[in-house]
Amino acid sequence: MELFFSDDIQDAQVRLDPEESAHCVRVLRHRVGDEISVIDGRGTLYRCVLEIADAKGAWARVLERIHGFGAHPYHLTMAVCPTKNIDRYEWFVEKATEIGVDVVAPVIGERSERKVLKTERLRRLALSAAKQSLKAAVPQVAEPVGVRDFILSAPEGALKLICYCFDDVERLPITEVLRRQAERVMVLIGPEGDFSPEEAALARANGWVPVQLGPSRLRTETAALTAVTAVYLFSLEA
Amino acid sequence: MELFFSDDIQDAQVRLDPEESAHCVRVLRHRVGDEISVIDGRGTLYRCVLEIADAKGAWARVLERIHGFGAHPYHLTMAVCPTKNIDRYEWFVEKATEIGVDVVAPVIGERSERKVLKTERLRRLALSAAKQSLKAAVPQVAEPVGVRDFILSAPEGALKLICYCFDDVERLPITEVLRRQAERVMVLIGPEGDFSPEEAALARANGWVPVQLGPSRLRTETAALTAVTAVYLFSLEA
């Protein structure tokens, strides 16, 4: 099953952009009358019939709308400091999308070696991973913000978890904390050099629960994916 | 903390091979009298003092043995069909090593597009990932065998789980099945084209429990890492 993406869906008309049109018509050789599936990136899949097979601008007519296609039963924001090696962050975005994440928020910590991050490529990766894993919702990739700003701007009512390494306070295993019911989960993962003690203290003072991911020493992106997998697996239990 | 590897440890004498010697003496500039940490790849870390700082063949004297350094509280064999794109399999080996796995067993299914796999590079990856994540035990990478042979040769007493996609039988969520206590866990993950019905039936007939990894559609290597993470996270609960 091949999913196309469109951000130009009005009433029963779906328009594919030139890139998607070329993929649909030139690469996959779809013809007028073929049925195709298009996602809006916001959770709805549209079963359509191709009406204009133009490799520069294809049009399709909506046959059926399927809301929540490929959705997961939780809302997860992963706030993860960019890794020195950007490939590892891109890998995280791809894998987290496959497993199930709603927002990837790059955050810059005091000890982050990488202070800038281009989000455009990450957004393309999230889109292609969502299509590949048959999800109609594409995770949002936020623009980078500072760790302190992110901590202070987090919404009320979310279960807010911060993973860090130093042992100044007791940190519960994430598996225990995830037993608490919450509509939204937010997880904050630090840079290679970890959060600064001030960042960790600010988080705790603002309701973030210190958690640990077990005895293994995990790289930033592995810790982040382990947290995504924990939320995903625990949603199977609920 | 930097770990070195040696397979030549006798009594209180540790010999580093030329590659490790060069890294220790030329790259890290260790000198006679420096303390270094060496793993044997089988679970023991040796605190040593460098006695011969030869970049082609360094020697160290053992000060202390630490058994089970970086060990995890389970024994996990991941039998995973090689992916078409070998990078994805190498990525799995690296990440699984970080999180915690004991044996990676490449298995070739009827529907595997990749029928051959070079294990030498995978073993090097497992070693470097184990050193990077501070584990004294390096996962064993087995030589590829056929899925049927693997199924039939699995030991008694292990909790044997098979993940596959088709819905001919009820498959419990892996999180439920992992509640069963077992000394050894084995997980079988199929190729992109899934197992054949005959392979799945043979597994069931031989005590393999069909499990599913939830609603998300995961690539082979993502499914495999999700299973590793499930076993790891559930060991935190026990």
Residue B44 CA to residue B42 CA, distance in Å, equals 6
B201-215 pLDDT, tens digit each: 999 999 999 999 999
Nearest to B233 among A98, A99, A230 (CB): A230
For residue B199, what are its two tokens? 């392979």
Task: Give residue B34's pLDDT.
Answer: 97
Interface test with B, best of A222, A225, A231, A234 (most B CBs within 10 A): A222
Task: Give residue B236's pLDDT.
Answer: 84
Task: Give residue B183's pLDDT.
Answer: 81
Task: Give residue A238's pLDDT.
Answer: 66
Between chains, do A229 and B234 touch, taking CB under 8 Å as contact?
no
User: How would you write the pLDDT of chain B (238 residues) with one tens digit per residue?
Assistant: 899 999 999 989 999 999 999 999 999 999 999 999 999 999 999 999 999 999 999 999 999 999 999 999 999 999 999 999 999 999 999 999 999 999 999 999 999 988 889 999 999 999 999 999 999 999 999 999 999 999 999 998 899 999 987 777 788 899 999 988 788 999 999 998 899 999 999 999 999 999 999 999 999 999 999 999 999 999 887 6
Cβ of A218 under 8 Å from any chain B Cβ? yes
Nearest chain A residue (CA) to B217: A133
Task: Give residue B238's pLDDT.
Answer: 66
A117-137 pLDDT, tens digit each: 999 999 999 999 999 999 999
A143-199 pLDDT, tens digit each: 999 999 999 999 988 999 999 877 777 889 999 999 887 889 999 999 988 999 999
Q: CB-based contacts of B233: which residues, under 8 Å, 6+ apart?
A: A174, A175, A214, A226, A229, A230, A233
Interface test with A, best of B2, B101, B135, B229 (most A CBs within 10 A): B229
A19-65 pLDDT, tens digit each: 999 999 999 999 999 999 999 999 999 999 999 999 999 999 999 99
**Are B61 and B12 a contacting pair, CB within 8 Å?**
yes
Could you please report the per-residue DSSP string of A61-126? EEEEEEETTT--SSEEEEEEPPPSSHHHHHHHHHHHHHH--SEEEEEE-TT-S-----HHHHHHHH
Q: CB-based contacts of A138: which residues, under 8 Å, 6+ apart?
A: A5, A39, A41, A42, A97, A126, A127, A130
Domains of chain A (ranges plus CATH)?
Answer: 3-67 (2.40.240.20), 75-237 (3.40.1280.10)
Phi, psi (deg, nearest 5) at residue A21: -60, -45
A70-101 pLDDT, tens digit each: 999 999 999 999 999 999 999 999 999 999 99
Between chains, do B237 and A175 touch, taking CB under 8 Å as contact?
yes
Nearest chain A residue (CA) to B172: A236
For residue B203, what are its two tokens? 């597994």
Residue B16 CA to residue A142 CA, distance in Å, equals 47
Between chains, do A72 and B98 touch, taking CB under 8 Å as contact?
no
Phi, psi (deg, nearest 5) at residue B145: -135, 165
Could you please report the per-residue DSSP string of A161-226? EEE----SS--EEHHHHTTS--SEEEEEE--TT---HHHHHHHHHTTPEEEE--SS---HHHHHHH
Between chains, do B233 and A72 touch, taking CB under 8 Å as contact?
no
Nearest chain B residue (CA) to A136: B216
Between chains, do A98 and B217 touch, taking CB under 8 Å as contact?
yes
Interface test with B, best of A171, A232, A235, A237 (most B CBs within 10 A): A232
